[in-house]
Amino acid sequence: MIFRQLFEPLSSTYTYLLGDEDTGEALLIDPVIASMDRDLAEVHRLGLKLAYTLETHIHADHITAALEMKRTVGSRIAAPAYDRLSCTDIGIEEGKPFQVGGISLEPIHTPGHTDGHFAYLFCDRVFTGDALLIEGCGRTDFQNGDADALYRSVREKLFALPDETLVYPAHDYQQRFVSSIVQEKKRNPRLGGDRTLEEFRQIMANLNLPYPMFIDYAETGNRQCGVCPPDVPANLASYCRQTSESPQG
Ligand SMILES: [Fe+2]
């Protein structure tokens, strides 16, 4: 199995490349339109063919590359069925493994950051999207976010995975790359240790985060599997442009 963690610096997003050496098929989890050229070049450099793109949720901070990759290389679009996007080829559901070549992912419905959010378990690792970040979690104040639901998703579903399971989040803002379930159980200041639901509610209600600056464009664009809306203002135009510098994480 081929694995790469790719970083998109504008939105600090991690995109994950999984490749099956036997069939030559690859998938990209949460690809970003601004890093599309870099990501496709990496897939091809590894001698792979992009079979699928796969979303953890409808993103509010970047535009997915799913649709443009489908147009460019013929990949198919997989996303949570819960969101009922008409542009998806495969609707992901809990309990139904998602298979690409010899790679089998186990979808885990993890609502709370968004109601349709999914994490994906693959062998010794779990791709946690924005449900569980390294010593953090995604916000719960937009997109049908729900702190109670997120608390249950993380504590009852993700923390129920084996302790040594590696945690690969959709973002990190401090150049950290990977965590583990046991580390988050012990160290996550919002959800770890003996944090109660009431404490978590208070933490999430008092984050005082600014209005997400790209959400109105990203949600619209991502409900179409990755269309850059024509009215994106000049100060946000870089979100729809290919980034020149985009280091690999
Ligand atoms: Fe998100």
How far does the centroid of ligand 1 lie from the alpha carbon of residue 170, in Å?
A: 8
Model pTM above 0.75: yes
How far does the centroid of ligand 1 lie from the alpha carbon of residue 69, in Å?
A: 20
Per-residue pLDDT, 248: 58
Give the pLDDT mean for 212-233.
94
CA distance 65 to 228: 10
The model's pLDDT over 45-103, given as tens digits with 9 standing for 90+, comes to 999 999 999 999 999 999 999 999 999 999 999 999 999 999 999 999 999 999 999 99
CA distance 158 to 128: 8
DSSP 155: I
CA distance 124 to 105: 11
Q: How confident is the model at residue 246 (pLDDT cuts 50, 70, 90)?
A: low
Q: What structural domains does the chain harbor?
A: 2-209 (3.60.15.10)
How far does the centroid of ligand 1 lie from the alpha carbon of residue 199, in Å?
A: 22
Residue 46 near residue 21, CB atoms below 8 Å: no
Give the pLDDT mean for 7-20.
97
CA distance 48 to 5: 16
How far does the centroid of ligand 1 lie from the alpha carbon of residue 61, in Å?
A: 7
User: Is 244 or 234 the better-scoring residue by pLDDT?
Assistant: 234
CA distance 52 to 70: 8
How far does the centroid of ligand 1 lie from the alpha carbon of residue 221, in Å?
A: 14
How far does the centroid of ligand 1 lie from the alpha carbon of residue 47, in Å?
A: 31
How far does the centroid of ligand 1 lie from the alpha carbon of residue 113, in Å?
A: 7
Per-residue pLDDT, 204: 98
Give the pLDDT mean for 144-172.
98
How far does the centroid of ligand 1 lie from the alpha carbon of residue 120, in Å?
A: 15
Per-residue pLDDT, 126: 99
Q: How far from each other are the two terminal CA atoms of the chain, in whole angstroms?
A: 18
HSE (CB half, 13 Å, CA atoms) of 150?
Answer: 31
How far does the centroid of ligand 1 lie from the alpha carbon of residue 130, in Å?
A: 5
How far does the centroid of ligand 1 lie from the alpha carbon of residue 111, in Å?
A: 11
